[in-house]
Amino acid sequence: MTDPIKYFASRVTASEMNRREFIGRSMAAGLTLAAATSLYGKAAMAQEPKRGGHLKLGLQGGASTDVIDPAKSSSQFTFAMNRNWGDTLVESHPTSGLAVPSLAESWEPNADASVWTFKIRKGVEFHDGSELTIDDVVKTLNRHTDEKSESGALGVLGSIKGIENKGGDLVLTLSEGNADLPLLLSDYHLVIQPGGGYDNPSAGIGTGPFKIDNFEAGVRATFVKNENDWRTDRGFVDSVEMIVMNDATARMAALSSGQVHFINRVDPKTVGLLKRAPNVEIQTTSGRGHYVFIMHCNTAPFDNNDLRLALKYAMDRETMVEKILGGYGKVGNDFPINETYALFPEGIEQRSYDPDKAAFHFKKSGHDGSVLLRTSDVAFPGAVDAAVLYQETAKKAGIDIEIKREPGDGYWSNVWNVQPFSTSYWGGRPTQDQMYSTAYLSSADWNDTRFFNTNFDKILLEARAELDQAKRKEMYHDMALMVRDTGGLILPMFNDFVNATTTNVSGFVDDIGNDMSNGYVASRLWINS
């Protein structure tokens, strides 16, 4: 099966594509009608989930410092755990990225998107048998927005000023309009807990498809099926076991020997090897995470836009994706948004490697001598190799890049967001607004390119409160161009999430929201045999 067809099949399995569409596209991709029809049958059959069995996951990203308290979730492991036992008010759609109902049935904004009313689902039971009430929701949000809170969602919810129960509905009042508010509530920290989780936040009582059975931080977590789950389209297995496996080779060995059904963080360098195992299927999902080279726009010599442009043109993006990501990624265009975002600005010309233009701008900038780039392997996987590759392509444009390799320990406090030119990584955000607000707004804590543009700030705040999607899309188009052409961001690539499953499980959904099928992997997979 060729890759596009495999992709179409997975769309069918995820009910994202119908028969006509599938057969049409598969034939366009080179299949005969008969082959396409039979393939559709297979893919559609795979839609019938089988129930039962014990699902085992081998996951990178757990540590003995992990806690169940969702407010303090900070690892990949607890992220996936939260999705197992808890629910948020809103979820994001696997392919469109738009907000879809979960514990909140529906919502309405007021005219300027500053007051939102959520209808909360009735008849949902927590694991301890108590019924979900509006009070639980209010208290949960209170706990995460309290100024004294240590919640990882504190920053996301910063603009929420009022959380009230008005006649059985949840009413959120914001300090400024925000058209994306529902999506913010899909943050994995915001698991709705009985009593808001004030009493015992680590009890792990939620409304999710699985109940926590046992948890040993940094070792493993086991779950059993929640028989009173309010949804029937998830949680197909009887029990789940998540094992912390921080060593990439250990994960690969465990998967290819059939000891686990799923692993995350497959190393792009070894995907080829893993593919050879007959019982393994690689699951790649386009991600919003991106690997970046960041220049401080206010620090010499990077305060010169010609030098910044020269350095942007000196980047060979295609080769980066091929060599550093092993092909598991997409080329970037020097603004932090890709087509996985709703309202992605289309029609912006792809910037590509151009030694002549680079040389032209470099000369125009008046800078001579080398440019110092700081990097470290912790910046992103393969960061040092990427820097060397960049050094080579820049050399052809007559730009001498000097690489300084920094120790990984302390890189995030001493180099990133401190030194004027360094390599770094950004995980995506649910919305464009959040991505720009986190790192490109003049007043952002993490304005790591020192991008100060009052016009940009103005449009960003206007777009945030704009409910007319067409207008909003135009605004995001303008903002993307500003960052691309005047900012300090060189964004060569967006990395895919590379996971792998054994062939005897089905149901994996390529969810653009985040890694591991947006964390829902355990509730979406089922075991075939």
Partner 1 sequence: MANPLAGVRAARHRLKETHPLSVLIAERLGLSVLLLWAVSVLIFAGVEALPGDFAETYLGQSATPQAIANIREDLGLDRPITTRYFEWLGGVIQGDFGNSWASGAPVTEQITKRLGNSLFLAFFAAAISVPLAVGLGMVAVHYRNRIPDRVINVLSLAAISLPEFFIGYILIVFFAVQMGVATFPSTVYDNMGWSERLAAIALPTATLVMVVLAHMMRMTRAAIISVMSSAYMETAELKGLGAFKAIVKHAAPNAIAPIVNVVALNLAYLVVGVVVVEVVFVYPGMGQYMVDAVTVRDMPVVQACGLIFAAVYILLNMVADIVAIVANPRLRHPR
Among 15, 214, 299, 370, binds partner 1 (CB under 8 A): 214
Rounded distance, CA 202 to CA 215, Å?
11
Binding residues among 440-469 for partner 1 as defined by CB under 8 A: 445
Provide the phi-psi class of 170: left if phi over 0, else alpha when psi is between -120 and 50, else beta.
Answer: beta
Structure tokens at 396: 């052809």
299 binds partner 1 (CB under 8 A): no
243 binds partner 1 (CB under 8 A): yes
249 binds partner 1 (CB under 8 A): yes
To partner 1, the closest distance from the beta carbon of 71 in angstroms equals 10
Give the x/- contact pattern for partner 1 in 394-433, rule: CB under 8 A.
---------------xx-xxx------------x------
**Nearer to partner 1 (CB atom), residue 130 or residue 200:** 200
Among 103, 124, 179, 254, binds partner 1 (CB under 8 A): 254
**Nearer to partner 1 (CB atom), residue 444 or residue 482:** 444
Strand, coil or helix: 359: helix
* Backbone φ, ψ for residue 116 (5° rounding): -120, 135
150 binds partner 1 (CB under 8 A): yes
Binding residues among 68-107 for partner 1 as defined by CB under 8 A: 74
Kindly give the residue spans of alpha helices, DSSP state H, lying in 128-179.
134-145
Among 141, 185, 245, 475, binds partner 1 (CB under 8 A): 245
**Nearer to partner 1 (CB atom), residue 68 or residue 373:** 68
Strand partners, 224: 211, 239
Question: Burial, 375: exposed, middle or buried (Cβ in 10 Å; 0-12, 13-18, 19+)?
Answer: buried
381 binds partner 1 (CB under 8 A): no
Strand, coil or helix: 177: coil
Name the segment binding partner 1 (CB under 8 A); options: 24-32, 175-183, 252-260, 307-315: 252-260
Reduced to 3 DSSP states, what percent helix, strand and coil does the chain have, rounded to the nearest 5? 35, 20, 45
253 binds partner 1 (CB under 8 A): yes
Name the segment binding partner 1 (CB under 8 A); options: 84-92, 175-183, 251-259, 292-300: 251-259
Rounded distance, CA 55 to CA 262, Å?
9
To partner 1, the closest distance from the beta carbon of 180 in angstroms equals 17
**Nearer to partner 1 (CB atom), residue 244 or residue 441:** 244
To partner 1, the closest distance from the beta carbon of 181 in angstroms equals 18
The two beta strands, 239-244 and 489-495, are unpaired
Residue with tokens 């690969």, as numbered in its chain = 252
Kindly give the residue spans of alpha helices, DSSP state H, lying in 109-239.
134-145, 181-184
Among 34, 48, 129, 147, binds partner 1 (CB under 8 A): 147
Rounded distance, CA 224 to CA 501, Å?
21
Among 2, 15, 96, 257, binds partner 1 (CB under 8 A): 257
Strand partners, 307: none
259 binds partner 1 (CB under 8 A): yes
Rounded distance, CA 169 to CA 480, Å?
37
To partner 1, the closest distance from the beta carbon of 267 in angstroms equals 14
The two beta strands, 371-375 and 401-405, are parallel
Binding footprint of partner 1, residue count (CB under 8 A): 44
**Nearer to partner 1 (CB atom), residue 46 or residue 444:** 444
Rounded distance, CA 82 to CA 78, Å?
6
Sign of the dihedral defined by the CA atoms of residues 403, 408, 410, 412, in that order: positive
Rounded distance, CA 79 to CA 63, Å?
12
To partner 1, the closest distance from the beta carbon of 529 in angstroms equals 17
63 binds partner 1 (CB under 8 A): yes
Binding residues among 39-58 for partner 1 as defined by CB under 8 A: 58
Run of H or E including 197: none
Q: Which residues bind partner 1 (CB under 8 A)?
A: 58, 63-67, 74, 147-155, 158, 189, 214, 216-220, 243-247, 249-250, 253-254, 256-259, 409-410, 412-414, 427, 445
